[in-house]
Structure 1
Amino acid sequence: MIQKRAKKGFFAVEDDNFCFEGYSLKNFTFKGYVIPYFTKNVVEQMHEVFDELEFKYNEINDTFSVTWIDDEYVDTTEYSATDIALDDNTKIHVYGIGAGDWPWDRYEMYYFLSIIQRL
């Protein structure tokens, strides 16, 4: 299924120091947080960054299983692939890692440029 009108941006989990390039559907949020989608390459970068998470890719089902490993519990969620289209109708194959579960915030490119200019 192709969902239309996705916009490229940068996304970070609330109170986290890491930001990832991804896509979100315009005007689509959950409890005030955006629902981002990421390419497979970006999800693999997340695996390198989040120490408390274990990422496993299932090539047969085209899904990522993400396991939260904590001292008190272990929780696994599976994220299926979907296709989204940008405003120019470019189709992108993505995964909604943490969509609807994690408190993702969206940042625009100009936000990062303003930080770099201040350094």
Structure 2
Amino acid sequence: MRIFLIAALCLAVPPGFAQTSSPPSRLGLCAACHGETGQAHMPGVPNLAGQRLDYLRDALQQYRDGRRNVPVMRAAIGPLNDAELDALARWYSVQVAAPPQVRS
């Protein structure tokens, strides 16, 4: 009975409930390479959709603070404060990752 109730509650959650209703104000530079929904547009750029929130938050702080030495990332997010980094991490963490493409 308990499993049935949990399943029913999960199904009752409207689609997109977990997603933030609007993109963060600082998404522009990130979206240029990683895509607005976290699907990268450029070869070699990682997809961010569906990554763990704590991982994204920590990685963004490391890029901003120079602990991860990637100049393009440091330039893009250097001026962002913790709240802005948190909004970006939250946005990308709730996006749905696309299934991997099979290459022939």
Asked whether the two chains share a fold, i.e. TM above 0.5, the reply is no
Which structure has more strand as a fraction of its residues?
A: 1
The higher radius of gyration belongs to 2
Higher share of residues assigned helix: 2
User: TM-score if structure 1 supplies the norm length?
Assistant: 0.29
